[in-house]
Each structure stands twice: as C-alpha cells, then as structure tokens.
Amino acid sequence: MSAKGLRRALFPVALARARLGSGGERLALVAVGIVAGAAAIAAVLGGRLVMQDRALAQATAALPSSDRSLTVAWFGAYGGNWRPLDRAVTKELVGLTGREPARAMLYREASVGGRFINLRGAVGLGRYVHLESGRLPKPCTPSYCEVLRLQGTGPIPSKPTIRLVEVGRATLDPDAPFGPFIQPATTGIVSAAVQYHRPQPSPVVLAEGVDGLSRTPELSSFFRSYAWFLPVRPGDVHPWSVASYTKQVDDIRAELTARSDSFEVTAPTDELAASVASSRVAARRLLLLGGEAGALLLAFTVLAASALRHDVGESRRRLLWAGARRWQVELQTFAETGTVALLGTIVGWAIGAAVAAAVANAAGSPAWPVIEHALLSTDGLVAAVLAFAASALLLYLTVRAPALQLGRVAITPLDVAAIAAVIVVAVGYARGSVNATSLAGGGTGAFVLLVPALVTFAAAVAAARLLLPTLRGLGRLGRRGPISLRLAALSLARNPGGAAVTATFLVASLGLAIFATTYRSTLVTGQRDEANYAAPAPYVVDENLAELVPVLHGWNGGTATPLIRLSGNVPSAATFTFLAMPASSLAATGGWRSDFASASLPELAKAIQPGFSTALRSAALPSGHELELPVSNAGDEIGLRAYFRSPLGDFQEVDLGQTRGGRTVVLHGRIPFAGATLSSLQFYLLNSGRAASNGQTGVQPSARGVLTVGVPRVDGTAVPGTFAGWIGVDGGIRRSGSTVRLAYSLDTDRTTTFRSPQPTDGYQLPVLVTPDVAASAGTGGTIPLDIEGENITGRIAGIIQRFPSIVGGAVIADRLTAETMLDTVSPGLGTTNELWTTSVPSPPPPTLTIASRADLLETLQADPLARGALATLGATAALALALALLGLLLGIVADRRDERGELFDLEAQGASPATIRTHLRVRALLLGAFGLLGGLVTGAILSALVLSLVEVTASSTQPEPPLRLAFDPALLAAVVLGYAVIGATLVLAATRLPGRSLERASEAVA
C-alpha cells in the first residue's frame, strides 16, 4: 500500500481518536454500560469459581477421616527397614505440598512373653492423643519403650529383649490422620450388647516414634505395616487443581510401586473429582444469572447509544459533504464505537477481577488463582473477547440504525425475531422440565440458559408494539382531563421512537428485577420446604443402628408422636415406604403442602381412621420369671416358641422347646419383660420332620398332628383362662374344659399360630397411596401390600402425590390399626421405630439418632452453591432496578434534548415554565408507569416459565418437594415502591430548571 493510501486508511482512525479526545464525554454514559456489563460478567465468572472452590472445601471437610488423606502404606516383615523407606516416601510427599507427613506403624496382634498385645507407634503423639492419666511417652528405643494404653485389659508384657513400660492411658483425637490405621477396631460406636458378647480385647498400646520400635530385635520377624499420612485439608485442592493433584498422586504411586510392590498409595481423588462435577450445575445456573445481568447492561448500552444517533448522523453527513469516502466514514464510526467498547471491556474486566478477588478473600479462597483460572484462562479471555465484540457491534448498529418508527402497523424483523423467540420457548416448554442432570450438560440445559433472554426480548418487542395504542388510548380517555396529560400522551404518540426505546428498556430491566426477586424468594422458600419435608417435626428420633436399642426403650424425652416406618412393594413391582402414624396426628404433619393431594389433611386423616377402637389383644401374665407350658402331641414332633410383648409394645421371641413323642412334657421359657403379656404361640418344624411334596418344588420337610396344650403356669402358679377365646391360624382348634387341642400342619411355607382373635382379623387396612402404588389396586380399591415380606390387604382411602419424609412411593396408614395387623402376622413388625417430637432432652439420648429440622435448614442455607445462587440473584435484582431508574433518567434527558424545538414553541406560545415542567414530568411518569406495568407482567411470565423448566434447588439438586412459585409480598412491594418513589424523585429533580434554561440544559447534556 502507498503512503497516500495508508494515510487515507488511517485518517478515519485518527479522526475517531480526535473526536474521543475532544468530545468523549458524550460517550461516557455509553462506556458506563459496557464497563458495568463486562464487570458483571467477570465477577460472575470469578464468583462461580469461588463458589465451586468453597463447595469442594466443604465436601473435603465432610469426608471421613479415613478417606481424607493421601496415604502411603507398606506391608511386610523381613526387609522392612524403616529409615530408607521413610526417606523415599517423605521425599515424594513433601514435594507434593511442602508439608511433612504423619508417620505411624503397627504390628499385628502377636504374643510377646506369652501374652497377646497390639503394638503401634506414631511420630508426634502430643498432637494426636488426649491423656486420661499419666504422661506422654519418651521416644521409643529398641531396648526400652514407653507406651500409652489405648484400649484393652490385662498387663503389658515385658521381657529383657523388649521392655515395654506403660506410662499412661489415652484416647486418640478423632481427627488424627492415622486414627483408623492405628485403632480400626474402635472407630464408631460399639453397642453394649456387642461388647458383652465379644471376648475381652488384648491391650492396644502406642509408642512415640516408629524407628526405635521397628528395630526391636524381639519383633524383627513380626509382620508390620508402615504408613505415611498427608491429610487433604479443606482448601488444599481447588477445582482447577484436582486434575494436577490426581496426576501427582499417580506419579507418586508409580514411583513407589516401582521400588517395591509392598507399597500401596490411596488418595481421595475420586471423591474430589465427584465434588467438582456436582458443583457444575450450580456453576451453569450462576452463568445464567450473570448472563442476564450482562445482557441487561448491554441493553442499557443500546439505550444510551440511541441518544447519539442524531449527532453521529450529522457528523457523517458533514464528512461526506467534505469529500470523505463512504468506507472512510464507516471506518471512522466503527473505530469510534469500537474504541469505546474495547476500553469499556478492559476497564470492566479489571473491575470484575477486583470484585472476584474481594469475594475470594472474604470466602477464604486464593484471590490470584481465582482470577487466573476464571478470567485470564482461555475460557475467560474468550468471554472477554465476546463481550467486546457484542458491545462493539451493538454500538455500531445502534448509532447507524434509523430511529424506531411505530406509526404504521407493519411486520418488522424485530417482530419476526420476537415470534421466533416465543416459538423456541414454547417448544422447549413442551419438551418438559429440566432437572439437575440435564442442566449439568448441554442440549436442554443450554436452552434453559437462554430462556430469560428470549422471554425478555419478546416482552420488549411486545411492549414497543403496545406503547403506541396505549398512548393513543390515554389521549382519548384524557380529553376531559388535565391538559398536561393530553399533551403528554399526544406528543409521545406523534413521535414514539425515543419513548419506545426507553419504555422497552424499562420493561426489560424491571421484568428481570422482579424475576430475580421472585426467583430468589422461591429458592429461599424451597429451602424451608425442603427442611420441613425432610423433617416433618422439629425433631425426628430414630433407632441408632450401632446401638440396636428400640426407640421407645431409649427415649426419655416425654411426649412424642410414635410412628412405624417400613418398606414394601406391590405386585406391579413398585416399591414404597410404609408409614403408620396416629390418624389424629396426621393433620399436624409438618412439611405438608396443599398441592400434595386434592383433599385436605383433615379429610385424609378421617379417611384412614378406623371405625373401631383397636389394640393388639394378648394374655396378661402375673409377675414372674418363667413360663411353664404342659403339652403333648399326637403326630410329628414340633417345636414351640412364644412371643412376649413388653409394656412399650416391642416383642421378644422365646423358644420353649419341643414335643416328645406323644408324651406330656412341660416346656419352659424365661419371661423377658416385667409386666409382659403373652401374644401368641407359634409352632415350627424340627429337622426330624417328615418329607412331603410342596408346591411342585420337590420334596420338602413337613409336620402334621394334634397338639394338646394344658394350663400354663408362671413360676409354678397356674394361670387359668390364659387361652380363653384364642384361635388357631392355619390350624383347627377344639377345647375341652381348660385343655386346648390344636391341629397343626406345617411346611416350609406355612406355620400354625395360636393367638387371641384381633379386631383387625379380616379387615382391610385403609391407606393413602401415591399414584404408582395405586396402579396395583383391584376392584373396589383393594390392594395387596407386601410389607417387609408379610402380606397385608389394604384398601385405598385416598390418593396423595407425595408425603413428607418420603421420597418415592408412599403408603400411609393409621398407626394403631397397622400395628395390630402387622404384629398379628409377624410379632414385632409393628413396633414403633420412629418418633416425631417438638423437643428433646438435654443431653439427648445417646442410644438414639436425632435429626433436627433447624440443623437441616442451617446446612441447606450454608451450602456454598446455594449461597452463591441467592447472592447472585439479589445482586441481579438490585442491578436491574438501578438500571431501570438510570434508564428512566436517561429518557428524561433525551426527551428534553430531542423535544427542545417543541418545548421552545410551547414557551413561545405562552406556556408557562410550570406547564412545561408538568408536561415533561407527565411524559416521564407515563413511560415509567408503562415500564412498571410491563415489567410486572414480564417478571411474572419469567418466574412461572423458569420455575416450571428448571427443577433444581438453590444448591442445584433435584428438589423434594418440587419448587413452588413463592412471592414475598413485602419484598415485591419494597421493589415497586422504591422504584416509584426514587423514579418520581429523579423526574422532579431532572425537570426543575425553569423556562429557557430547559433548552440550555438539554443542549449541555447532549
């Protein structure tokens, strides 16, 4: 290119530079929008990485101590020289984090001097043990070793070749990195019953140091394990370093296993990777919210830039008149707008980085790595380039596009685009809701990210179309009203271009503000609903599976609602949770919502309430210790067992013995409870039973005969009338005075039971069921329920969609009725195993597990993913509201400038300054009211659509129960009232100048 051609090409750029240098204040407001938009996008990119980092740190802290370390273990006997092994392993681990690993060793239980002992050693015991008595041991040497006793009884063995001296008793810190390695038998809770039945453990002792104990000659041939522990502390590994951490662990594993195949290296790499993957859903939704803020700010940029179209057009005409080529004029326009976009993006990116750094510091994440991996990475820089390109293109198109004309009804490209947006949203809505899985990936999840923008765009175009007929309608309605109202409506209707831009921006910004406010209220309410659903009462008390103490035996906290929770299935293979609770308490169930069923809770409670008072009938026994039962049989020998029921409702099975070849024998059984009642007698097969065909499955054992049962005795005292009215189940019965003769027929599928008749015999249990369970119902709503292997006939009394505390299929029944039916078919199956209560004693019962609704809600609210989503929604709402107010102010300024000729005419025709001010204020207030009304409608549509599509909670998990649109009336009223008050204040302040000063002020602003 020649020098002349180069000067021609560079002239437009130089002219743009000169214009920006001399009159750049005209573009300052435009630059503010770009700066804010870029800053919002950058802050969201940094904030989502901080959120993922905090979620990873929280997940790391929640890992069991046994899984929260990089562990290197060596196993062997001869050749286990500690010092070279320690040097090799320590070198690798220190190179990973710069920290020294914790070191420990153990010998398998072995006999020393004729006594069994468990020898362990660890470095730096003072940091990891709590002394109960004595003192800390000195470093162990091969000839003299002081130890702490951790558990076990009996003397510590000692001999000349290995002098072991106990200097104290201690317990390990629960967070000791080598805790599970040193003391695996004592981790967790061991019930008293288990401790009672196991033999007394041999002593477990712990020495200071590893080297001295490992070189003891007496132990040279003993199998030992060495281990090095490098705890992974919260914040040690970050989302951006999980892959590199995994690679380093793999390298250490390869290096050490190449030295010896006795090495084993483990680390929580899979758990860390899974935590990062689970946080991606929330990260994507945070991008959705940040993208809304960025799009809103770009819309603000368009609004501000639209005011420059007239000046840019005048400048272009002057350049063309002066002889400039058209391509030079276009290049100058693009250079001017592109420079503003570039500088605005750079400044905004820097501000966003500062915000991200501040958020990282406040949250406890490293600031610079967050900026580096969120904003200066390839993805971050691509986002910055896209933000610059979008803002530059929008600026250029805005200043080059002709003014918006809505005077004639015609289909414009904007109308077509809006219709297309509506169609896209409708098709996506028809495809169904989006859950956490789809949101984590592409496809439908990517579509959801665009829904707010598509709806807002369609609403803005619709608002632009509705503005003109609305203004004309106001003009007609106001013919008899104030002249200022008619004048304002008519002037806006005659030249609606600038007003349409302002009105559509107000609709978009206020719509997003109301959507963000409502969505945040919905998520906050969803957290409360989730906590209430998971814990229908303030406290839920369950059996501690480590203790195996029945709930009612371990409970000492006063009044509570007893429940039975079991699992089952129906013939359609649908599984369900069976929950039996007092029908009288059903109406007070926490976590219930009206959308769970078409009927109310009191109506449902009445539906499952039995028509009779029922309680399990059993024979009362006098106080005593032993039951004696005289029996004789004619036929095959069988065994008998008795079921005793305690005053608290649980059962104990007691084997009474077996019949003896037709002879009368007295069977004996210990009565397990004080105040026990005899619930039933059950006959069972003995190994000596005869063989018979059974259900075409081959030869199976069976027994048949007649059993004669005499009067039972308790501690030798006869108890006549014990079996009065009792019936035989799967067996015939005949009485003769106090003697009962009972026919029996037993096989592997059938037993004979002797028990009291129950009010529920032949009764169908009224139940509330979910639709998947109801699909198995027969005629009249009868449904067979398999509950823990026992068959119960139910009758559907109502359909529910779900029930608090149950995820999936549910069957709800009255507790007392269900308890009687269950204990009849299988004694003990109907025992209360859960309590709902409003308070717990202090301290809580150690043998039970207690879940607190308040603790659950606190956990949900403390989740970093949830906090990040709610904070972003709050910031988005505040930003959108602020931009709406600023847009209203810009509309007033543009109105004064663009209408200065008309205002001058009004003043020349005798209009007073007060009339002109009122005219301007009414125009602004009309636009503000139109924007508010359109924003309310847009926000409602957005809230309903996004909620129905995005079925994830604040922490981006699948909601249970489903989210329900929740409005916070006070907050929405505050938003609307704040917009109205501040907007009115801005209108009054911007129109205070009297007379011709209005014109001069407009020219100065322009």
Nearest CA among 23, 33, 14, 13 for reference residue 305: 33
d(CA 744, CA 703): 8
Cβ atoms within 10 Å of 1001's Cβ, excluding its own? 18
**Rounded mean pLDDT, 13-22:** 50
SS3 state of residue 441: coil
90 CB burial (10 A radius; 0-12, 13-18, 19+) = middle
190-194 own/partner pairs: CB under 8 Å, 24+ apart: 190/546, 191/546, 191/547, 191/548, 191/549, 192/547, 193/548
* pLDDT computed for residue 312 by the predictor: 63
pLDDT of residue 274: 87
SS (H, E, C) 625-668: CEEEEEEEEEECCCEEEEEEECCCCCEEEEEEEECECCECEEEE
pLDDT of residue 579: 96
Count the Cβ atoms, other than its own, within 10 Å of residue 87. 9
pLDDT band at 44 (very low <50, low <70, confident <90, very high): confident
Q: Once rounded to an integer, what is the mean pLDDT over residues 569-587?
A: 90
Q: Kindly state the percentage of the chain with pLDDT values over 90.
A: 29
Q: Is the confidence at residue 180, as pLDDT, over 80?
A: yes
User: Poorest-confidence range of 57-71, 450-464, 934-948?
Assistant: 450-464
Indicate if the pLDDT at residue 447 is higher than 70.
Answer: no
Nearest to 876 by CA among 419, 513, 387, 503: 513
DSSP-derived secondary structure for 661-697: TTB-EEEEEE--STT-EEEEEEEE--TTPEEEE-TTS
Q: Tokens 């809304």 appear where? A: 292
Helices and strands of the chain, counted as H and E runs: 28, 33
| Virtual torsion, Cα 46, 52, 54, 57, nearest 10 deg | -140
pLDDT at residue 128, rounded to an integer: 92
Judge contact between 265 and 257, C-beta under 8 A.
yes
Give the mean pLDDT of 945-960.
67
pLDDT band at 310 (very low <50, low <70, confident <90, very high): low
First to last CA, the chain: 40
Section 6-10 average pLDDT: 49
Q: What is the DSSP letter of 705?
A: E
Give dist(CA 719, CA 734) in Å, integer: 19
Give, for 122, the enclosing helix (H) or strand (E).
strand 115-122
Cα–Cα distance for residue pair 111/109, rounded to 1 Å: 7
Which residue in 749, 702, 695, 706 sits closest to 728, CA to CA?
706
β-pair type (204-208, 144-151) = antiparallel
Is the confidence at residue 766, as pLDDT, over 80? yes
Phi, psi at 635, each rounded to 5°: 135, -155
pLDDT for 642: 94
User: Residue 965 — φ and ψ, nearest 5°?
Assistant: -55, 125
**Predicted pLDDT at 25:** 47
pLDDT of residue 353: 93
Question: Distance between CA atoms of 396 and 309, rounded to whole angstroms?
Answer: 10
User: Which has the closest alpha carbon to 392: 468, 450, 334?
Assistant: 334
697 contacts: CB under 8 Å, gap ≥ 6: none
Percentage of the chain lying above the pLDDT 70 cut: 76
What is the arithmetic mean of pLDDT over 320-337?
Answer: 67
Please tell me which residue, 72 or 736, carries the higher pLDDT value: 72
In our burial notation (b when 16+ CB lie closer than 10 A, e otherwise), range 669-681 reads: bebeeeebbbbbb
CA distances from 845 to 190, 539, 546, 831 (A): 16, 13, 14, 19
235-244, 263-272, 552-561, 761-770: lowest mean pLDDT where? 552-561
| Residue range 722-755, pLDDT digits in tens | 888 888 887 667 665 668 888 888 887 777 888 8
- The residue with greater pLDDT, 120 or 504, is 120
Tell me which DSSP letter residue 826 carries.
S
853-862 vs 497-534: helix crossing angle, rounded to 10? 140
- Tokens 């299929």: give the residue: 809
Question: In which band, very low, low, confident or very high, does the pLDDT at 305 lie, cut at 50, 70 and 90?
Answer: low
pLDDT over 70 (residue 812): yes
Give dist(CA 776, CA 799) in Å, integer: 13
Mean pLDDT of the chain: 80
Q: Are strands 69-76 and 224-231 parallel, antiparallel or unpaired?
A: antiparallel
Q: What is the reported pLDDT for 197? A: 38
> Residue 837 pLDDT > 90, yes or no?
yes
* Cα angle, residue 635 at apex, residues 629 and 641 outer, rounded to 5°: 35
Angle ∠(36,38,43) on CA atoms, nearest 5? 90
Rounded Cα–Cα distance for residues 970 and 924 (Å): 26
Q: pLDDT of 398-407, one tens digit each?
A: 776 665 554 5
User: pLDDT class for 433, splitting at 50, 70, 90?
Assistant: low
Dihedral angle sign, alpha carbons of residues 433, 439, 445, 451: positive
Mean pLDDT (whole number) for 659-667? 86
CA-based angle 661:662:668, to the nearest 5? 80
Amino acid letter at 850? I
692 has pLDDT over 60: no
Position 950 scores a pLDDT of: 63
Sign, Cα dihedral of 470, 476, 477, 480: positive
Angle at 748 between CA 744 and CA 754, to 5 degrees: 35
Q: How far is CA 650 from CA 277, 616, 645, 828, in A?
A: 46, 12, 6, 6
The span from the CA of 892 to the CA of 4, in Å, is 46
Residue with tokens 């403390």: 862
Q: What is the pLDDT of residues 457-512, one digit of tens each?
A: 788 778 877 877 777 776 666 556 566 666 666 666 666 656 777 777 788 888 88
Nearest to 173 by CA among 160, 185, 187, 159: 187
3-class secondary structure for 486-509? HHHHHHHHHCCHHHHHHHHHHHHH
Nearest in space to 926 (alpha carbons), one of 498, 555, 471, 574: 471
CA 439, CA 69: separation in Å to the nearest integer? 32
- pLDDT value of residue 33: 74
* Averaged pLDDT, 658-684: 88
Query: In this predicted structure, what is the pLDDT of residue 1000?
Result: 46
What local confidence, expressed as pLDDT, does residue 1005 receive?
A: 40
Lowest mean pLDDT segment, chosen from 309-313, 611-615, 766-770: 309-313
Whole-angstrom distance, CA of residue 764 vs CA of residue 783: 9
Which of the four pLDDT bands, split at 50, 70 and 90, describes residue 535? very high
User: Alpha-carbon distance 875 to 887, whole Å?
Assistant: 18
What does the pLDDT look like over 73-105, one tens digit per residue?
998 876 568 989 999 999 999 988 888 999 999
pLDDT per residue as tens digits for the range 898-943: 666 566 666 666 566 676 777 777 778 888 888 899 889 988 888 8
Using the CB atoms, write b or e for 249-279: b if 16+ within 10 Å. Answer: beebbeebeeeeebbebebbbebbbebbebb
Q: Burial-class residue 223 by CB neighbours within 10 Å (0-12, 13-18, 19+).
A: middle
Q: DSSP secondary structure string, 538-589?
A: SEEEEE-TTT---HHHH--SS--EEEEEEEEE-TT--EEEEEEE-GGGGGG-
The Cα–Cα gap between 538 and 853 comes to: 5
Least reliable range by pLDDT among 18-22, 380-384, 422-426: 18-22
Residue by residue, DSSP assigns 150-176 as EE--SPPP-BTTBEEEEEEEEEE-TT-
- Burial-class residue 111 by CB neighbours within 10 Å (0-12, 13-18, 19+): exposed
Q: Are strands 144-151 and 263-266 parallel, antiparallel or unpaired?
A: unpaired
pLDDT for position 207: 94
The mean-pLDDT minimum among 426-435, 766-775, 862-871 falls in 426-435
pLDDT at 589: 93
In this predicted model, which residue has the larger pLDDT, 1004 or 382? 382
